[in-house]
Every structure is written in structure tokens, then in C-alpha cells.
Chains A and B, each alone.
Chain A
Amino acid sequence: MSTAPPSTQAGTSEVHTTDRDTRVAMYRLLVELRYFEKRAYDLFLQNLVKGTSHLSLGQEAIAAAFGAAMRPGDHTFATYRGHAHTLARGVPMGPVLAELLGRENGLMAGKGGSMHLTSVEHGMMGSYAIIGAHLPIACGSAWSAQYRGTGAVSVAFFGDGTTNIGAFHEALNFAKIWDLPVVFVCENNLYMEYTAIKDVTAVEHPAADRAAAYGLEKIIVDGNDPDAMHTVATAALDRARAGAGPSLIEAKTYRHGGHSRADPAKYRPDAEVQEWLARDPLPMYRARLIADGVGEDELVAIEGATAQAVDEATEFAKAGATPGEDLLLKDVWSDGGWTWRN
């Protein structure tokens, strides 16, 4: 199996179906996700982020494209690698960073951590750290939308490793037989944790080659190309909204770092890493936008404003209080408490 990147070239000026404002908005998101993840990494190195964390560096185009294509009211379900998907739904950086730092002003007051980012008011319905679990859960929110006729679509993002667990297969079949408005997005970064996905999977394209088994179209897209991603995302969301049922998208991408903070990713061949670094979505998309007539000034302004916003988010997070004892026993039950006896 080839691990070569898809053939889209950086800097080419093609006719894009996506309008200018949306493309600039996607660039803004790409920059925000990139700068945020870099800052999160810096804060690990300063030992301010405890526990573990899984970064989306290199994979931002998928989250950015869906963030731009989804509507308010749509539901996102992500994995433990969920910072980018959370921010892409408009969740502010400060509370997300504070959650990573375990502070009381965190998105969940420190009770969830990096792997469980959730912001229901933004349609970010959770980050799930048990592989595969959120695919059936996304089916449930899609079922609810279908039942109540809300027109909302649920989108579940997951890695290539997820395609080998049972819940993936249960969810695809379930979504298809009930025609649920759900989009399954496999971010194939070629590695399930530390192991090459090709070494542990029976087919070449771990998600797309399984689509036929569930009566779904085989969709493979360059996950480092925001325009291509946006086109595919919009089509799948429209399809779901029109009542035509689920889609399964396999987006080819690459993570710039290891699986988690503990992983230096020494198992990846240098040539492969270099090849994918050359296809970094950020500089690639920047060059393309300029080639298509977007002023560099505008992009520089976005970069400057985002850098400042990340600094402000960092200050917000660092200034957060340590969570108080009152939070410890709070919110096991809907009455706000934890009592199991009288």
C-alpha cells in the first residue's frame, strides 16, 4: 500500500466551489488551531499541562473545513484528539486552554481534561476517549434530530484505528438502516497510535474500503486540502439534511507530532515525514489563497490577531484558580449532587 500523499498541489489556482469569505474563514481557523496546538505543546514542556494530550498539528484542515461547513445546531462528536474540533465550532480558546491546565475557569472546570472537551452550547457534544464509542452516540443524536425534525446533522470524527473496532461497524450499519443524518469522518493519519494502520488492517483504505459493506459510497479526500475537504463536507452535510442518510468520508492526513505527549514518533520513516511536512496545510493554503488574489496583508492581519488571541487565552488560563472542593462531588446526578443513599 502506498503512503504517498494525495496529488493535490500546493499553490495551484483552481476553480473552487467555496466562496472567498468561507476560504478566508477556513484560513483563520487553520491558523487558530495551529497556534493553539503549538501553545498547548509549549505549556506541556513547561509542565503546566498535566496528564496526557493529543494534538492535531498537521491535521487541522479537516476540522477547519467542517467547522466552516457545519451550521449552528449541528452536533460534533470528537475523539480524545479533539482540541481542533472543539475550537472549530467556535468554542473560545481561553476556557479550552484552562481545561488543559486543570483550572476552575476551564471549559468543564477541570473535571474532564484534554480528552473530554465538551461545549453543548456550541454544538460540541463531547470528546470521547474510548475508541469507537462516539460513533453510535452520534447515531443517537442524529436519530433525535430525525425524530424531532430539527434538520440538525451529527458529525463524528475519528482516527484510522477506529475502523478496526466493533462500534464503528455497528454504527455504520445502524446509521444506514435508519437513514440517519450523520456524517462519519475518518482522519486517516496512517498510524493507529504507534503502529502503521496498513500493518493491522485487511484493506488499503481503512474506512473507505469498508463503505460498500454498509451500502455507502466510497469517499476518499485529501485531508490537507481545505477546499477539497469543504466541498466533500458540504455535500455530505447537505445529503444528511435532505434525508438521504449517512456518509462515510476518509480524509488522508498526517500528524506532525507523536500520538500523544509521551510519543516522539520515532517509528515513522524520515522520508515519509518530510514528504508530509512539505504538504503542511497551513503554508500550502496560504500560498493558494494569495495565488487566487487574497491580499497577503489580510492573511498577515489574521495571523497577528490570532497570535495575540492565543497569548490572551494563555493568560486567561494561567490566571484560573485551582478547582475547589465544592466541584469534587458535584453533578453526578441531574440534581447537581452525588448522593446514592438517604
Chain B
Amino acid sequence: MAELSYREAIARGIAQEMRRDENVVFLGEDVAAAGGVFKGTVGLLEEFGPKRVRDTPISEQAILGAAMGAAMTGLRPVAEIMFSDFFAVCWDIVVNEIAKSRYMTNGQVSFPLVIRSGNGGGLRFGAQHSQSVESWAMAVPGLKVVVPSSPVDVVGLLAASIRDPDPVIFLEAKALYPTKGEVPEGDVPDELGRAKVLRRGDDATLVAIGSMVPRAMKAAEQLATTGIDCTVVDVRSLVPLDTQTLLEEISRTGRLFTVEENPRLCGWGGELVSIVGEEIFYDLDGAPVRITTPHIPLPAADALEDMAIPSVERIAERVQKAMQE
């Protein structure tokens, strides 16, 4: 067991898979010699050499097109899109090409590839380097969408994503890069489509992903002191979605609170609320509540960004208020 930061866990996760399978290759902007702008890929070039770890130009369509063409002809590429905001300049390759081609060709091709990207706010980078795009990816048939919240999940879910035969959008919470956690040595067995119950309480169920998971956990600790005992579920994978665990945990408390960093409209929590409404409506003891960033582009100033993204205090207050209604 070693203590690793979330950013160190990325290099560890990729390296383990590159050692295991020589068809795993890695490409992106500043990922090789520089070790990544967030230092998430330090040491990969040194260990695996320039044939497998490749710096690219600032050409997101070329990066993802190359990953797609390589995946359909036998490699298992991991591609990095530095900031998830940049998906907007290569979304055609993701949505029209990678996601649709298996279906359109009646299963003739498959795309075992992973697209990693730094996602979300907290770094005061302003509206074009801070948004949460998991809902974009989730809306596209043919993409799996994974959002780890801890170093151990980074390693385990990266391995599961790279070994998966289908395209995975792997969204790393930028705000969590410096956070640390214990990671066992060697292979960390994990699977896509399995949510984790991080804490059990009988009064309310908080459901979160990525950077919102530690905040939901802290809010749950605060709420416990006021007599509200919360379950916290880390969804981890939006597609495939572990509805079984989610519905069980929501039914058990009768109250659902989603904690979402994304802007309000069409956030993943909206889909979850809809599933809950259709399938376990009569198990609910109160209206589901979505705690989200307001439907705005993210501001740069620290004071404003902190007001926008759900904070521990906002989560705790909102839960408390709803539980008293």
C-alpha cells in the first residue's frame, strides 16, 4: 500500500497497462517530454520511449482521429485532451466517428480507446478551462463515461477503461489532482458500471461524482452532527450506470440529493431523478433535490467560482432545509 496523489495515480495507472499490453500507446499535447501540464504523466516517456508515448501538435482532431484509426486497426490508444473544454474542437471525431461507427458498420469495427481529459473547475481558470462536460458525453450513444474521485479509483478505473473493448471518456477532476489516498501495490481490480457506497446513513442519499464526492462526504459529516444521517454514493461511471445500487440506496432512505458540478440543464442528476421518478416514485419520502452549479459559464475570480460550484456548506444547508420541509 502506498499513498499516491490523484495525479500520480494517472501515470501509475497508464504505466501498469502499458507494461501489461504492448498495444497500449499514449498520445497528447505536452504529455511526453513535459509529463503533462498537470504533471499527470510524468515518467511515461522515460519508461516506454517515444514510440509509445508521443507528443502531438495542438491538433485535437488529429489526436482523436489518430486514436480512432489506431484503435480500429489493433492498438489500444490512450489519448489526452488537455482540458475537457477542448472537446468542443474535436467533438465531431468523438460523436460522429468514434461513437457511431461500430453501430453504422453493423459491428465490423470496434474502438478500444480511452480519452482522458482534465474536467471541471476549482482552479480559477475561467469559463474556457473549467467546465464540466460529463453530460455532453453521457448524451451520446456509444460512449462510456467514467469519472473517478480518488487515487485508488483512478488506477482501478483506468485499467478497466483501457481493457474495455469500447470507447471510454475518462474525466479527471482537475480540482482533485493534488489530493492523496492509499493505493494497493500491483493490479487494482475494478470494473465499469459499479457505483460505490462510501458511507451509509438512514435519512438521505447523496449521489455525487468526481470533485463533488469529497464535498458530499464532508457535508454528510457535518449533517451527522445535526442528526441527519446520510448515505453517500459515488457513481464513478455514468455510462454504464449502476442503477441497481443507486435505486437501492435511494429507496432505503427515501430521499435523493444529487450533487453536480455541471451547469443545471441536462446534468446527469436530471436523468437520475427521471429514473427514480419512473421506477421508485412510491419509495420516496420527499421531492428529489438537485444541487448544481447555476446555469452559467464559470467565472474566473476565486470568490465567484466558489459561489458557483456546490460547496460543502451549500450542500449541507440544502439537505438540511429539504429535510426540515
Given known A170-B59, A338-B141, A342-B240, contact A116–B65 (CB-CB < 8 A): no
A143 at the interface (CB under 8 A from B): yes
Please determine whether B69 and A139 come into contact, CB atoms closer than 8 angstroms: yes
Please determine whether A147 and B108 come into contact, CB atoms closer than 8 angstroms: no
Closest approach, in angstroms, between the C-beta of B45 and any C-beta of chain A? 16
Please determine whether B241 and A136 come into contact, CB atoms closer than 8 angstroms: no
Closest approach, in angstroms, between the C-beta of A108 and any C-beta of chain B? 4
- When distances are taken between beta carbons in the complex, the residues of chain B under 8 Å from A266 are none
Please determine whether B75 and A332 come into contact, CB atoms closer than 8 angstroms: no
Closest approach, in angstroms, between the C-beta of A286 and any C-beta of chain B? 35
Query: Which of B10-18, B97-105, B129-137, B308-316 is near enough to bind chain A?
Result: B97-105
B193 at the interface (CB under 8 A from A): yes
Given known A125-B72, A341-B240, contact A118–B104 (CB-CB < 8 A): yes
Closest approach, in angstroms, between the C-beta of B73 and any C-beta of chain A? 4
Contact mask B242-258 → A, CB, 8 Å, 1/0?
Answer: 11100000000000000
Please determine whether A331 and B61 come into contact, CB atoms closer than 8 angstroms: no
- When distances are taken between beta carbons in the complex, the residues of chain A under 8 Å from B77 are 140
A145 at the interface (CB under 8 A from B): yes
A80 at the interface (CB under 8 A from B): no
Residue of A116, A137, A167 ringed by the most chain B CB atoms within 10 A? A137
Closest approach, in angstroms, between the C-beta of A308 and any C-beta of chain B? 28
* Chain A interface, number of residues (Cβ within 8 angstroms): 51
Q: Which residue of A lies closest to B109 (CB)?
A: A120
Q: Which residue of A lies closest to B138 (CB)?
A: A340
Please determine whether A332 and B142 come into contact, CB atoms closer than 8 angstroms: yes
- When distances are taken between beta carbons in the complex, the residues of chain A under 8 Å from B275 are 341
Given known A330-B107, A334-B102, contact A342–B97 (CB-CB < 8 A): no
* Of A109, A136, A333, A338, the contact of B69 (CB 8 Å cutoff): A136
A126 at the interface (CB under 8 A from B): yes
Please determine whether B61 and A136 come into contact, CB atoms closer than 8 angstroms: yes
Given known A141-B69, A173-B59, contact A128–B97 (CB-CB < 8 A): yes
Q: Which residue of B lies closest to A154 (CB)?
A: B69
Please determine whether A144 and B69 come into contact, CB atoms closer than 8 angstroms: yes
Closest approach, in angstroms, between the C-beta of A183 and any C-beta of chain B? 14
A135 at the interface (CB under 8 A from B): yes
> What is the CA–CA distance of A136 and B51 in the complex, to the nearest angstrom?
18
Please determine whether B62 and A331 come into contact, CB atoms closer than 8 angstroms: no
B204 at the interface (CB under 8 A from A): no
- When distances are taken between beta carbons in the complex, the residues of chain B under 8 Å from A39 are none
Given known A118-B104, A126-B105, A170-B62, contact A137–B57 (CB-CB < 8 A): no
Please determine whether A147 and B25 come into contact, CB atoms closer than 8 angstroms: yes
Query: Within B60-110, which residues are at the interface with A (CB < 8 Å)?
Result: 61-62, 64-75, 77, 92-93, 96-97, 101-110
> What is the CA–CA distance of A134 and B67 in the complex, to the nearest angstrom?
12
B239 at the interface (CB under 8 A from A): yes
Query: Within A90-117, which residues are at the interface with B (CB < 8 Å)?
Result: 108-109, 111-112, 116
Please determine whether B66 and A340 come into contact, CB atoms closer than 8 angstroms: no
Please determine whether B107 and A331 come into contact, CB atoms closer than 8 angstroms: yes
A75 at the interface (CB under 8 A from B): yes
* Of A119, A332, A339, the contact of B103 (CB 8 Å cutoff): A332
Q: Which residue of B lies closest to A142 (CB)?
A: B69
A293 at the interface (CB under 8 A from B): no
A262 at the interface (CB under 8 A from B): no
Residue of B68, B69, B101, B110 ringed by the most chain A CB atoms within 10 A? B69
Query: Within A307-342, which residues are at the interface with B (CB < 8 Å)?
Result: 327, 330-336, 338-342
> What is the CA–CA distance of A287 and B89 in the complex, to the nearest angstrom?
50
Closest approach, in angstroms, between the C-beta of B158 and any C-beta of chain A? 19
Query: Within A133-175, which residues are at the interface with B (CB < 8 Å)?
Result: 133-145, 147-148, 154, 166-167, 170-171, 173-174
B286 at the interface (CB under 8 A from A): no
A130 at the interface (CB under 8 A from B): yes
Please determine whether B193 and A342 come into contact, CB atoms closer than 8 angstroms: yes
- When distances are taken between beta carbons in the complex, the residues of chain B under 8 Å from A134 are 65, 97
> What is the CA–CA distance of A167 and B240 in the complex, to the nearest angstrom?
31
> What is the CA–CA distance of A136 and B193 in the complex, to the nearest angstrom?
31
Given known A141-B73, A143-B70, A340-B241, contact A171–B101 (CB-CB < 8 A): no
Please determine whether B57 and A136 come into contact, CB atoms closer than 8 angstroms: no
B222 at the interface (CB under 8 A from A): no
A203 at the interface (CB under 8 A from B): no
* Of A109, A144, A154, the contact of B106 (CB 8 Å cutoff): A109
Please determine whether B242 and A342 come into contact, CB atoms closer than 8 angstroms: yes
- When distances are taken between beta carbons in the complex, the residues of chain A under 8 Å from B107 are 330-331, 336
- When distances are taken between beta carbons in the complex, the residues of chain B under 8 Å from A178 are 54
Q: Which A residues are within 8 Å of any B CB, using their own CB?
A: 75, 108-109, 111-112, 116, 118-120, 125-126, 128, 130, 132-145, 147-148, 154, 166-167, 170-171, 173-174, 177-178, 327, 330-336, 338-342
17 contacts between A and B (CB under 8 A): A108-B104, A108-B105, A111-B104, A118-B101, A133-B61, A136-B64, A137-B69, A141-B70, A144-B69, A147-B25, A166-B61, A167-B61, A178-B54, A334-B102, A340-B141, A341-B240, A341-B243
Excluding A140-B73, A154-B69, A334-B102, 6 further A-B contacts by CB distance (< 8 Å) are A108-B106, A108-B108, A111-B105, A173-B57, A327-B106, A331-B103
